Amino acid sequence: MQPQPGNSRNLIKQILDESPRGMMHRGRIALGSRATGADIALSYIVVVGREPGPTLWINGQVHGTEVCAIVAGIEFCRRLDPSQMTGNVVFTASGNPLALESRTWATQQDFGQNLDTSFPGRPDGFITERMAHRLFSEILAVRPDLLLSMHAQGTDFSSKIYGVYKLPPESPVEPSDLYRFLRVFEPFAICHMRVGPGAGEHPGHHAGALDYQAMAHGIPAFMIEFGVAQRSTPDEVRFGIQCYSGICAELGILAAEHRTTGSPQSRLVTSRGHCNVDVGGLWQSDLLPGALVKAGDPIGTITDFTGLTVDTVRMPMDVLLIAIRQDPVVHSGDSVAYLAKEWTSVDLG
């Protein structure tokens, strides 16, 4: 398997349009080179079904520590039989191979830029922008029927699987168009992430996210926070394979026997944010992700290194814990919990 020429644009679309039906293709798209001459490349698996039909695109990672969805994606593709498919599956393991290799969240070669705030990228910019531009150009050329942007919770936290979607202005895609696919992952919550000025959920330019840019171009897309960074367990991989198969069944790529029940209901989170502490020390909490904490009730405590409790962390409103910190060492300004502040029940159909 050799890297494809870096100037061979729209390679994935070319494979889908021109290759014989009922085949699987593996390869790498060269983006550039390291100082040693080693390739910087995007790896892909393209499974072309025996019959034409819809296309599912799964991007396994935008941050270098998010690995569980990659392992599940590779195993899922290995099990696909193109002769039994109506449509196509495209799997790009990592949009950020440099961060993956360095085992870091962001690319270190260009001041730690976040790939998921860099789309649609630039062909002549920093390497993060170049990776974003090539991946997104390939996606736009194909215009898949659904794009899954897979993520993982950071190593400092624990959480359950949850989904995130963003709504660009004038996007033709409605949230209800996504619910039947989100349901497959059995998310305990689905977050409608606000992206405009003053949203305050995360620092950064989130209109540059892969799923946001896809939605802005009319491609249904959402994020799944799946597993924990730098970890992949057999149970998580099996569940990931089941979910990818279920999505294919929903799209009609695989037979109805691959459908999964999923979760008919979830929580629709419309306001969320981090709980940042004022003092440093050792963080301790008995709470688990998914817990409902009433206004004024303790979320956890911070103890100094002489054993004195220096802070009891509380919120002034009821909150739903999306993720809770597991690393006990905290400094002023660190997040100890990721919280939903407003939510309702949502029927996923």
- What's the CA angle centered on 240, arms 249 and 93, to 5 degrees? 100
Q: Read out DSSP for 142-159?
A: H--SEEEEEEEE-TTEEE
At residue 115, the pLDDT reads 94
At residue 2, the pLDDT reads 43
Tell me if 119 sits within 8 A of 213, measured CB to CB. yes
At residue 8, the pLDDT reads 66
Provide the 10 A C-beta neighbour count for residue 225: 25
Q: Is the peptide bond before 120 cis (omega within 30 degrees of 0)?
A: yes
Please state the pTM of the whole predicted model: 0.94
SS3 294: coil
At residue 136, the pLDDT reads 98
At residue 199, the pLDDT reads 62
Q: What are phi and psi of 36, to 5 degrees?
A: -80, -5
At residue 198, the pLDDT reads 60
pLDDT by 10s per residue, the chain, length 349: 444 444 468 999 999 999 999 999 999 999 999 899 999 999 999 999 999 999 999 999 999 999 999 999 999 999 999 999 999 999 999 999 999 998 888 988 888 889 999 999 999 999 999 999 999 999 999 999 999 999 998 889 999 999 999 999 989 999 999 999 999 999 999 999 988 766 666 666 789 999 999 999 999 999 999 988 889 999 999 999 999 999 999 999 999 999 998 999 999 999 999 999 999 999 999 999 999 999 999 999 999 999 999 999 999 999 999 999 999 999 999 999 999 999 999 999 8
Provide the 10 A C-beta neighbour count for residue 181: 23
Bridge partners, 321 (sequence order): 339
Q: Rounded to an integer, what distance in angstroms lies between the CA atom of residue 88 and that of residue 82?
A: 8
* Pairing verdict, β 23-33 and 86-92: unpaired
Measure the N-to-C terminal CA separation of the chain; round to a whole number of Å: 43
Tell me if 348 sits within 8 A of 179, measured CB to CB. yes
Q: Which two tokens stand for residue 273?
A: 């944010």
Q: Which two tokens stand for residue 182?
A: 């989100």
Q: Rounded to an integer, what distance in angstroms lies between the CA atom of residue 214 and that of residue 60?
A: 16
Give the chain's domains with CATH numbers. 3-263 (3.40.630.10), 273-343 (2.40.50.100)
Please name which of 128, 149, 121 lies closest in space to residue 61, comparing C-alpha atoms: 149
Q: Rounded to an integer, what distance in angstroms lies between the CA atom of residue 95 and that of residue 43?
A: 8
Please name which of 205, 184, 347, 335 lies closest in space to residue 272, comparing C-alpha atoms: 335
At residue 197, the pLDDT reads 61
